[in-house]
A and B are shown apart, each in its own frame.
Chain A
């Protein structure tokens, strides 16, 4: 890099960097070009920026060059050649270089400009379409609102659980819970003969039930097949209905087919072979259409008899009491002395006698 002069253009938009650069790199020549359409054909560029043309001599170190190349953000054109002290040669060389540079820089500036124009498109769009954007915004907001309302309604319907919940069990007394006292909604009964929830589809191959469409397939079972199955089962399951129920351990009566005996365990929780009522009596009870039921009537009659008996006893007792009263009235002191004697005897005999009296 010792014999190379470099020529660089710097935009003066960044004065600090250019100043720094001028101090470091351009001790000999410092040429300022003002862009003119006549010379440089930069018709497109309308800005009045100033470019610095620098000649970089051998004095610059490689580090500085590296620094320069790193710091330069603008377009850079480098012209190579021998630098003579002849001003004419240098000017002519400069001119040729500048024309080259101008061509290169024209393309770079155009690229830069196009980049700038493409950078802020949103702002331009917003400015251009300000009227439409309001409607677009309204549409977006409305969509979001509808979706939110729908989600809310779905959630609410999920929360509003219909009857049949645990709360209903509490209401019906199946569960004990003080907190859950939900009362179910009143239920209405729809007409079974006018049900719009079942619809037959086109071609009768589908049916719609509760909004869901189901495909139909014909049943293939024939009567012949049914008969075959019946025969198979009749062979497989030889069974006679039990007619006699015996407790386990009982002996089978001689006139009873053992196949028709059903053995009931003595501790069977629901069934028993023991019946405390007569079969005919039970049948009559079932057939009874009106009047007082047999057991109630029987109990009533028994109670009535008992009451009558009691009343009879009471009459006798009353008679007795009268005589006793008479006796008591006649012999009060003797009776009380007799009672005292009995009490003394009971204390001597203990709990056994009291048990006897209780039993009696």
Chain B
């Protein structure tokens, strides 16, 4: 496992939205070419070391986006399991009230018998509603509700705060991370999901629709008092960025003004891993997206952010026998 750390750079971006403008991010600038950067890059690879946990435990992280389909649940599953693989105790809460999918991505759908609604009703205890992953015993899943049940919104947010308190004081010890998978939109489910969170991970894709929603959600999170917001740019295609058909990660960052937790390249393996209920980070051999999720989890643990991003793929040098596949 490697994490890139680059110490560098104070560049004034020429494409920042006007700081004095109080308008939301409605009109996005045109696609821009990669900028000339002259700062030296120094990176340090971290091998064979467990990341050092920063901040107070449990770290309560909400993974949100605003727009649907950008990869919130995939990020939750992969980052959660990466953290578990690093040796941290993790509880992932699927706060999507009606359209929960985290259990499917983790392959735990057949083991969800009780949810938070049953806990609130007194049909089961909290520890009975927690589904422990057999692959990594320090990873547990908790679903808010069953697909056909309704959560009383009168104490939806409060219920999550009670849950966090109960997890803190449970006999086997407080978890290191509580990761909340937020539903799309800014509806009642979003309000419920962000209630107990201290920090947020904003997942977005490099397209204008996702960016506008992400900017709005970031604004709501900041209004709610969550200041530690980092973003993951998902489904990045370096070939399209090179052809100026897609905004680069740096462009996205300039528009949203958020620290980068990770950059996830587009990978066909994501669909396959979703289908089989096996998160990408457990793939062997590892995939590009899986490695990127691992690195994002690493930075999350250390409350670090990316200092260098992958811009484009260098052309591969073809050997003399490349005609024969060499």
Contact = CB atoms under 8 A, between A and B. Distances in A.
A225 B2 contact: no
Interface in A144-170: 146-147, 150, 162-166, 168-169
Contacts of A288: 122, 125-126
Interface string B246-259: 00001001101111
A112 interface: no
Interface string B154-198: 111111001101100111000000000000000111010011000
A231 B21 CA distance: 9
A114 interface: no
Interface in B84-124: 85-86, 97-98, 107, 110, 119-124
Nearest to B324: A147
A296 B85 CA distance: 36
Contacts, number: 315
Contacts of A222: 10-12
A103 interface: no
Interface string A298-324: 100000000000000000000000000
Nearest to B124: A293
B165 A192 contact: no
Contacts of B274: 164
A215 interface: yes
Interface residues of B, number: 120
Contact of B277 (A172, A212, A219, A269): A172
B303 interface: no
A286 B166 contact: yes
Contacts of B134: none
B145 interface: yes
A213 B311 CA distance: 10
Interface in B187-239: 187-189, 191, 194-195, 215-216, 218-220, 222-224, 238
A274 B2 CA distance: 50
Contact of B316 (A172, A213, A240, A296): A213
A218 interface: yes
A245 interface: yes
Contact of B189 (A199, A270, A287): A270
A216 B41 contact: yes
A178 to B, nearest CB: 19
A316 B297 CA distance: 69
B153 A214 contact: no
A165 B275 contact: yes
Q: On chain A, which size bracket covers the interface? A: 35 or more
A190 B284 contact: yes
B286 A197 contact: yes
Contact of B287 (A187, A210, A242, A275): A210
A146 B325 CA distance: 10
Contacts of B316: 212-213
Contacts of B98: 269-270
A215 B314 contact: yes
Contact of A218 (B123, B158, B271, B308): B308
B1 A273 contact: no
Interface string A203-228: 11111011011111111111001101
B244 interface: no
B111 to A, nearest CB: 12
Nearest to A234: B222
A56 B254 CA distance: 101
B42 A204 contact: yes
B275 A239 contact: no
Given A216-B41, A237-B216, A271-B153, A286 B159 contact: yes
B33 interface: no
Interface stretch (A9-17, A120-128, A277-285): A277-285
Nearest to B310: A214
B154 A194 contact: no
B17 interface: yes
Contact of B188 (A264, A283, A290): A264
Contacts of A286: 119-120, 126, 159, 162-163, 166
B260 interface: yes
B318 interface: no
Interface string B305-326: 1111111111010000000110
Interface in A13-42: none
Contact of B253 (A190, A221, A233, A240): A221
Interface string A38-60: 00000000000000000000000
A311 to B, nearest CB: 27
B135 interface: yes
Contacts of A274: 152
A217 B250 contact: yes
Interface in A247-285: 262, 264, 268-275, 277, 279, 281-283, 285
A273 to B, nearest CB: 6
A229 B256 contact: yes
Contacts of A285: 119-122
B135 A221 contact: no
A264 B277 CA distance: 34
B124 to A, nearest CB: 5
A247 B216 CA distance: 25
Nearest to A172: B277
B41 A204 contact: yes
A333 interface: no
B150 A272 contact: yes
Interface in B11-28: 11-13, 16-17, 19, 21-24
**A-B complex: 3 closest residue pairs judged by Cβ atoms:** A229-B257, A164-B272, A294-B122
26 contacts: A143-B324, A163-B278, A169-B276, A187-B283, A189-B135, A189-B284, A192-B86, A193-B47, A195-B2, A198-B1, A198-B2, A200-B4, A200-B43, A210-B291, A215-B310, A216-B308, A219-B6, A220-B37, A221-B254, A232-B17, A232-B21, A241-B191, A285-B119, A288-B122, A289-B125, A295-B123
Given A210-B288, A230-B257, A234-B223, 6 more contacts: A195-B286, A229-B257, A233-B24, A270-B188, A277-B121, A279-B155
